[in-house]
Amino acid sequence: MKDILSMLPEEIAQEFKAMGLPAFRAKQVSQWLARGVASFEEMQNLPLDLRSRLCELYGIYRPAVLRKQVSAKDGTIKYLWGLEDGNAVETVVMKYRYGNTVCISTQVGCRQGCAFCASTIGGLVRQMEPSEMLNEVLCSQLDSGEKISHVVLMGTGEPLDNFDNVMRFLSLLNHPEGFNLSLRHVSLSTCGLIERFTDLAERDLQLTLAVSLHAPDDETRTKIMPANRGRGVDALMKACRQYTETTGRRVSFEYAMIDGVNDTETHARLLVQRAKEVGAHVNLIPLNHVEESRYRPSTQGHLKAFIRILEESGVNVTVRRRLGSDIDASCGQLRRKFEKSREK
C-alpha cells in the first residue's frame, strides 16, 4: 500500500484527479492528514465508498508511543515511537523561552560511528521515510498538547545520509497545506558529509546548517569521527564557506567538550581560526556520558577556560543548556536501552 503521508498535497491532488475524483476531495484528505487522523474511516466528510476505496490504495501509518518520559526538572519530554515494522526511534520535545523545539531522528540507527555517540552503536538499521519524520513532529505535538514551533534534525541518524527522504520531509513540514512550519525554524545537523553540501545549498532552504565539528584538526577529529577520514577539516571548512556564499546563511559548529580529547588550549585556538575562516557561530555542548563509552565530559574549569579563549578572540559562542538530564534525553540513549532490553 502506498504511504500517503509521504505524499505532497499536490501529488495527492494529481492522483485523485487521475482517479476521476473532484479536486476538493484531495483537499479534504490533506486537511485530515495534517490534523493527524490515523485512518480514512475518521474522514467524516468523505462518502463511505470513497473511504473504503482509499483504504485499499493507501496506508496511513502513525507510530505508537512505546515509552514516554517527562523531566521533572524542566518539562522536557522524550518519546520512544514504535514504527510499523517493529523498529523504534526517539524524539525529544524541549521547552525554550522562544517556543517548543522538537528534536527528531532521521534514520533508524546510524552508520557514522562517532566514538562518543550512543545512536551509532548498533549501526544503521534502515532509512526513515518522510512520513515517519513528519509523524515525529505531528504526533509529538498532538500527544503533548504543546505547539511545536521549531524542529532540529539532531536525533538519531545522519540527515544527509538519507538525503532524498529528508528533503521530502522538509517540503511536507513547510507545506502550507501540511504542517506549515517556516524552515527558518529548522536546524539540520550533519557530521560533515560534504559531498551533499552543494546539493543542499542549491535548494536554497532557509534552514540553519549545523556542522558537528567536535575537533578543529584532522588528528583529533578522525579519532572521534570516522566520517572525517577521506574528507578532512580543510575540505569541510571550504564546503562550509561555499554553503554560506550560495545561501547567504551562516553555519554553526557543534562542539561537544570531551575531557582530555578536544578541550585543550591548543584546540581552542585552532577552533578560533576555523570559526573565523567560516564566520561560524560555535555551540559548545557539555558531553553527555554514554554508558558504553570511555569518554567523559570536560571539567568545569576546562570548559570555562575554553569559552574564555573563544570569547576573547571575538568568536560568537553559546553553551547548550542540558535539558532532560534526568530522563536519558541525550542522543539515542532511550532507544539503546530499549534495544538492549529486547536482546535479553
* Nearer Cβ to ligand SAH (40/116): 116
Query: Which part of the chain contacts ligand SAH (CB under 6 A), choosing from 2-10, 32-40, 76-84, 113-121?
Result: 113-121
H-helix or E-strand spanning residue 29: helix 23-35
DSSP annotation of 97 reads T
Taking CB under 6 A as the rule, does residue 331 contact ligand SAH?
A: yes
**Which three three-digit cell numbers place residue 326?**
534526568
**Distances 280 to 104, 269, 310 between C-alpha atoms, Å:** 23, 15, 12
d(CA 306, CA 75): 30
For ligand SAH, the binding residue among 13, 125, 139, 287 (CB under 6 A) is 287
For ligand SAH, the binding residue among 54, 77, 83, 256 (CB under 6 A) is 256
* Nearer Cβ to ligand SAH (31/293): 293
Segment 146 to 205, residues that bind ligand SAH, using CB under 6 A? 154, 158, 189-191
Asked about 331 being catalytic, the answer comes back as yes
Q: Which of 272, 285, 70 is nearest to 189 (CA)?
A: 285
d(CA 97, CA 164): 33
- Which of 90, 129, 132, 158 is an active site residue? 90
Asked about 42 being catalytic, the answer comes back as no
The nearest distance, CB 208 to ligand SAH, in angstroms, is: 12
Q: Which of 285, 276, 274, 295 is nearest to 323 (CA)?
A: 285
User: Taking the CA of residue 20 as centre, how many other CA atoms within 13 Å lie in the half-sphere pointing to its CB?
Assistant: 2
Taking CB under 6 A as the rule, does residue 117 contact ligand SAH?
A: yes
The nearest distance, CB 35 to ligand SAH, in angstroms, is: 29
Give me the residues that bind ligand SAH (CB under 6 A), please.
Answer: 112, 114, 116-117, 154, 158, 189-191, 212, 254, 256, 285, 287-288, 290, 330-331
Q: Which residues are catalytic?
A: 90, 331
